[in-house]
């Protein structure tokens, strides 16, 4: 299914029948990827008196409640409302859904007890490229990421300088395979979030951060078309399903 997508007046040819899904599914399981000290998601049938909304239990339908936190339990996209007193909804801030993206693979540097992604690494990998969306895959990249329990692990993170660099080259949509672009325990400084959204300047309401993605090894570094799909929930963050499409030559 070959299609042409126009981004900033330039046409790109993609095969819509060959999507590359870089989201993680949300499962009601202790093996669901998890962070921020919360229990696993819950997906349970509605119970009213002696009636349980499960076909297995005699009902004519399956009718489940789902309890989860978008930041803690899987792939999610957030807007600046994540760190502002004023309410901003990602469902209102994200108004376009197709972008020219660059996928890069980074091995975080060890500095003291922290593993960090630095400006120098990003400059080297991107060279002079200035994509609309940047997809960061960290090494090592194993399927274990889909079930990792991240709480109290001091995961790798972006330095403030790296996030500032990403903003300055014009990246509007940042995607990463970690629970957060920031250090797990940073006393609420949120330096990378604030640098990317220009929190202390002219806030970039139309910019998003997508965390907890998983980029399979079969997806090579390079240019793609990104379709950033979100659930229409009025909240600072929502579960999302970013899809990459290889650009046909």
Tens of pLDDT, residue by residue, the chain (249 residues): 899 999 989 999 999 999 999 999 999 999 999 999 999 999 999 999 999 999 999 999 999 999 999 999 999 999 999 999 999 999 999 999 999 999 999 999 999 999 999 999 999 999 999 999 999 999 999 999 999 999 999 999 999 999 999 999 999 999 999 999 999 999 999 999 999 999 999 999 999 999 999 999 999 999 999 999 999 999 999 999 999 999 996
DSSP helix/strand/coil, 119: helix
Going by the DSSP 8-state scheme, the letter that residue 108 receives in this structure is P
The Cα 209–Cα 185 span in angstroms is: 19
Quick: pLDDT tens for 184-211: 999 999 999 999 999 999 999 999 999 9
- CB of 136 closer than 8 Å to CB of 145: no
Residue ranges per structural domain of the chain = 2-26+70-246
As a dihedral over the C-alpha atoms of residue 182, residue 217, residue 16, residue 135, rounded to 10 degrees, the angle is 20
In degrees, to the nearest 5, what angle opens at C-alpha 77 toward C-alphas 220 and 38? Answer: 105
Class of domain 2-26+70-246: alpha beta
C-beta of residue 53 within 8 angstroms of C-beta of residue 46:
yes
Q: What is the model's pLDDT at position 1?
A: 85
What confidence score (pLDDT) does residue 10 get? 93
Spatial separation of the C-alpha atoms in residues 72 and 212, rounded to whole Å: 9
Gap between the Cα atoms of 137 and 139, Å rounded: 7
């Amino acid at each position: 299914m070959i299609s042409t997508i126009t981004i900033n007046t330039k046409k790109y040819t993609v095969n819509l029948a060959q999507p590359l899904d870089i989201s993680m599914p949300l499962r009601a399981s202790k093996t669901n990827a998890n962070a921020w000290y919360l229990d696993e998601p819950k997906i349970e049938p509605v119970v009213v008196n002696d009636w349980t909304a499960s076909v297995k239990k005699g009902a004519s339908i399956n009718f489940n409640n789902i309890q989860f936190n978008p930041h803690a339990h899987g792939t999610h996209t957030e807007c600046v409302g994540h760190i502002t007193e004023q309410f901003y909804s990602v469902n209102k801030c994200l108004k376009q859904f197709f972008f020219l993206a660059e996928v890069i693979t980074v091995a975080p540097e060890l500095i003291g007890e922290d593993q960090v992604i630095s400006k120098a690494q990003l400059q080297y990998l991107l060279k002079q490229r200035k994509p609309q969306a940047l997809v960061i895959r960290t090494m090592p990249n194993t399927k274990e990421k889909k079930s990792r329990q991240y709480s109290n692990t001091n995961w790798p993170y972006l330095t403030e300088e790296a996030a500032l660099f990403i903003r300055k080259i014009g990246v509007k949509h940042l995607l990463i395979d970690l629970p957060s672009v920031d250090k797990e325990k940073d006393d609420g400084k949120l330096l990378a979030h604030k640098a990317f959204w220009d929190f202390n300047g002219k806030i970039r309401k139309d910019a998003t951060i997508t965390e907890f993605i998983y980029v399979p090894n079969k997806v090579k570094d390079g240019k793609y078309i990104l379709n950033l799909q979100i659930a229409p929930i009025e909240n600072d963050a929502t579960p999302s399903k970013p899809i990459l499409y290889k650009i046909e030559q």
